[in-house]
Amino acid sequence: MSKLTHLDDKGEARMVDVTSKEVTEREARAEAWIRMAPGTLEMIVGGQHPKGDVLAVARIAGIMAAKKTHELIPLCHSLNLSSVKVELSPGEDGASVHILTLCKLSAQTGVEMEALTAASVAALTLYDMCKAVDRGMVIDGVRLLEKKGGRSGHWSASGPAS
């Protein structure tokens, strides 16, 4: 098992030094789910929510969150993202929204945290916008799906664990 990169030899928190790492193209995909009452999803999909297009607002919130990840997660590097995509789609169960994110850049460090933050904040935004009609919503399944690039190469949640 690899050691924790955000701890020094004394076990103290530190920002990872990426100075000597090569700049490569990197990308990461993440997902989250928000489960809700079927009526809440009907309101969202039908455009009947009093706050307007909640999916559009959640999409923008996810994009903004990816860009500000370094301000939210203390030891993350500030990154110049080249692309952030946030897709929200109604679940086939009729009572959920699936959030899928993709972040890309050319840099010395990866974008996993940005993709995860985008998915999480998009889900939180949906909760915030719909809580007046459904306080029982549940956010779950937040996870990294895939990362590409860098020294560790390609990793996929569907493949063997590394």
Closest CA to 63 of 145, 121, 105: 121
Helix (H, G, I), strand (E, B) or coil at 77: coil
Tokens of 20: 């000597």
The verdict on whether 134 is a catalytic residue reads no
Q: CA–CA distance from 105 to each of 23, 25, 80, 149, 150 (Å)?
A: 10, 6, 7, 10, 11
Q: Out of 53, 93, 128, 140, pick the active-site residue.
A: 128
Q: Which are the catalytic amino acids?
A: 128
